[in-house]
Amino acid sequence: SDEELDTRIRAARETLGERAVILGHFYQRDEVVQYADFVGDSFQLANAAQTRDKAEAIIFCGVHFMAETADILSKPEQAVILPNLAAGCSMADMADGPSVQQCWDELSELYKDEPDDGRMPVIPVTYMNCSAELKAFVGKNGGLVCTSSNAATVLAWAFERGRRVLFFPDQHLGRNTAKAMGVPLEKMPMWTPRKALGGNSEETMREAQVILWHGFCSVHKRFNPAQITKAREDYPGVRVIVHPECPMEVVDAADEAGSTDYIRRAIADATEPTVFAIGTEINMVNRLASEYPQHTIFCLDPVICPCSTMYRIHPGYLAWVLEELVAGRVVNRIQVPENQQGDAKIALERMLAAKP
Ligand code: 13P
Ligand code: SF4
């Protein structure tokens, strides 16, 4: 039962004391968030994993790429544990090492004769939501990682050093961020392999400023401008805030776009009772609604819109990994292969230096 699980988790937690730290992403369900020592967005969680260096184990209540990041940034002797190994991210799976390498090889070939102006022809930038293999790829090739909270700072960093940016996996975060920085849409082609039918012309690729990958988030893809129109009709004066993983038309129709922590802060900082329509995952929106009863807060998507993989972290798994730790056993450890650690760490440290 829920009570039994609660008793077991609290008992194991108490026995472990400072030997373990539990980190949780904002999208985790309340039944899990209640046990977290720290809850944050991806940037804050990466930072927390790097700074909580006293704990022997970091139990990461989030998804696989976040746990991999924690493993890279924590000390080698610290074990990072993902309570359910099936908690992945469909967007992260949309870019794989061989496809990105093929793209990179084609781009390098295309730009190889350009005159040297001291900048690289392309800088690779990956959204945090990707495998450690791709983080290592960008680190090795002069690029870096970004999160939704520092994407603009990261793109500015990349534009200083490169004539173009290859941005993957999330086309929407890439497009929304570059557009807000003044990059015209026609200079943001979506990557197509050279041999693809109907692919981009060589001229388009030469003129490109940001080359986008075809990835997207299946949760944020559900939002659309009609939902915003309806929210404005139902609640004149409503403040619409969406996550930048939403399609461009949605970000354009909203009042503001920002990371999960940006959304949380916007609500926490509102001094007058306000109606907020939010375009992001439902567990987070519902939690904010109960934490801030002085405001009216609802999700733009009327049909429940959870991240199904975040939801795979159930308190039952948390109880299991904690009790195993008490018994001296580490289960579900996430260990990034040695040959990816160094380059991925370079890319992540550049990311942490690019403050939101
Ligand atoms: P944040 O970095 O905004 O927490 O986003 C993580 C994520 O996966 C959103 O879908
Ligand atoms: Fe991945 Fe989307 Fe879930 Fe975020 S909300 S973890 S991008 S599937």
Report the separation in Å between the CA atom of 272 and the middle of ligand 2, taken as the mean of its atom positions. Answer: 31
Contacts of 314 (CB under 8 A, 6+ apart): 31, 32, 83, 84
Integer angstrom CA distances of residue 81 from 23, 53, 324: 10, 15, 11
Report the separation in Å between the CA atom of 115 and the middle of ligand 2, taken as the mean of its atom positions. Answer: 40
pLDDT beneath 70: ranges in the chain: none
Closest-CA residue, ligand 1 atom 6, reads 42
What is the model's pLDDT at position 217? 98
Q: Is 200 in the pocket of ligand 1 (CB under 6 A)?
A: no
Q: Alpha-carbon distance 244 to 249, whole Å?
A: 11
What is the model's pLDDT at position 165? 98
Report the separation in Å between the CA atom of 88 and the middle of ligand 2, taken as the mean of its atom positions. Answer: 8
Phi first, then psi, for residue 10 (nearest 5°) are -65, -40
ipTM, two decimals, is: 0.97
Residue 148 annotated as binding site: yes
Which atom belonging to ligand 1 lies closest to the Cα atom of 25? 4
Closest CA to 46 of 128, 144, 136: 128
Residue 74 annotated as binding site: no
Q: Is 343 in the pocket of ligand 1 (CB under 6 A)?
A: no
Residue 129 annotated as binding site: yes
Q: Alpha-carbon distance 65 to 42, whole Å?
A: 10
Report the separation in Å between the CA atom of 74 and the middle of ligand 2, taken as the mean of its atom positions. Answer: 23
What is the model's pLDDT at position 206? 96
What is the model's pLDDT at position 285? 97
Which atom belonging to ligand 1 lies closest to the Cα atom of 89? 8
Closest-CA residue, ligand 1 atom 7, reads 42
Contacts of 219 (CB under 8 A, 6+ apart): 245, 280, 281, 305, 306, 307
What is the model's pLDDT at position 199? 86
Q: Is 327 helix (H, G, I), strand (E, B) or coil?
A: coil
Report the separation in Å between the CA atom of 253 and the middle of ligand 2, taken as the mean of its atom positions. Answer: 22
How many CA atoms, within 13 angstroms, populate the side-chain half-sphere of residue 77? Answer: 5
Q: Is 170 in the pocket of ligand 1 (CB under 6 A)?
A: no
Residue 307 annotated as binding site: yes
Integer angstrom CA distances of residue 151 from 43, 126, 233: 11, 10, 32
pLDDT tens for each residue of 83-137? 999 999 999 999 999 999 999 999 999 999 999 999 999 999 999 999 999 999 9
What is the model's pLDDT at position 305? 77
Residue 207 annotated as binding site: no
Indicate the pTM of the whole model: 0.96
